[in-house]
Structure 1
């Protein structure tokens, strides 16, 4: 990069080394898009990977690199819940409390985990290890109730397994998700992946399994197949070239149709 590419305004106080490194990464992100401002979402993950949240320096950096105002960047950063506006823990523990998970025990898991960690929603333990969140849906209803750690799945949880999971994270022990990568990366490491810099772990661990594949297994065992698409009849056929499309609209259309038949 040229020296001009690293020029910056007074609003961003990253040290020179950090700014240069982020500017190099930002240039790679921007190059993926026809319009620079389209790079804002991954760039917010990039600056979040730096400090574990989108700081004022991060806002200023994104604004400067993309030709936006800080207000425009802040409007996006405050809209999406994956962007944090205060320091996040090394691990975000998200307990799904949406309908099915709640019915299956998600609310109880959250309440007991909150008491166990002595934090509430979007609060971080004193040791900086865990930020606890209520999550509206983890898109894993077939394994309810579900807990996620930095967006890795821990299926079929209960209050005791969730508390043991949290204790292991606080002790710095590796934990193995039910599906996905073989271990859980830190919040900052995952943020960098979300910025578009792969960590090479996409194919680790188990993918779809168990309840998710039950329907497929039954279909294969019973040779169930989707019905063949019926050939369109003359009545159902779409109007061809030169055809007059059928009229709609009730009595008026009927009257017009009768008049044309005369």
Structure 2
């Protein structure tokens, strides 16, 4: 994935392959306003985030305003304009998980990965750590999710072991 910087204040310009991929996805769903959400989901599925410049392009291609596209993207919590790591770690902080000590688990992930409340993704783009309101697995609290895999009854020690295991499994 290549991202270029222009000489106008360092703004990002996307590589042409981003637009080619967007064109493939748009062709699959059709150039119509109703295709916006599935197109955004597929783009985010490919790049692990939704590049704003690409969303503007998609809006023009399917015949909606840029404002409409961005309002939809910002309404839904699962869309992100920030690049995310290969492994997206979601630490539940819902009532059941919080009461069962999810905060020290979050702190263990952050400390092990050099992250903080302001920095969520590692520089190598391998890990992103987020908190979520609920993962719907309250009986297994405290719960963590890595991409699509649920990790129940998490502890700070298990969190560090999980990071080390994932680091060892870096193949795509």
1:60-79 equivalence runs, <5 A? 60-79=56-75
Name the residue aligned to 2:9.
Answer: none
Residue 92 of structure 2 is aligned to residue 117 of structure 1: no
Contact 2:22 2:58 in 1 (8 A): no
1:221-260 equivalence runs, <5 A? none
Contact 1:130 1:170 in 2 (8 A): no
Contact 2:19 2:54 in 1 (8 A): no
Residue 92 of structure 2 is aligned to residue 96 of structure 1: yes
- Ranges in structure 1 where 5+ consecutive residues have no aligned partner: 1-11, 175-185, 187-262
CA distance in 1 between partners of 2:49 and 2:83 (Å): 5
1:99-248 equivalence runs, <5 A? 99-121=95-117, 123-173=120-170
Radius of gyration: which is bigger? 1
CA distance in 2 between partners of 1:173 and 1:14 (Å): 25
Cα offset, 1:14, TM superposition: 5.2
TM-score by length of 1: 0.55
- Taking a change above 3 Å as real, the CA distance of residues 60 and 154 of structure 1, as seen in their structure-2 partners, is same
CA distance in 2 between partners of 1:106 and 1:92 (Å): 17
CA distance in 2 between partners of 1:18 and 1:134 (Å): 29
Deviates more, 1:17-26 or 1:102-111: 17-26
Aligned length: 159
Contact 1:96 1:138 in 2 (8 A): yes
Larger RCO, structure (CA 8 Å, separation 6 or more): 2
Residue 27 of structure 2 is aligned to residue 27 of structure 1: yes
Of residues 66, 76, 80, the one that matches 2:76 is 80
Cα offset, 1:30, TM superposition: 3.6
RMSD of aligned residue pairs (Cα, Å): 2.3
Contact 1:44 1:58 in 2 (8 A): no
Q: Which has the higher strand share?
A: 2
Cα offset, 1:159, TM superposition: 0.9
- 1:17-36 Cα distance to aligned partner (Å, 9 max, x none): 553443232232248xxxx3
* Partner-residue secondary structure (3-state), 1:124: coil
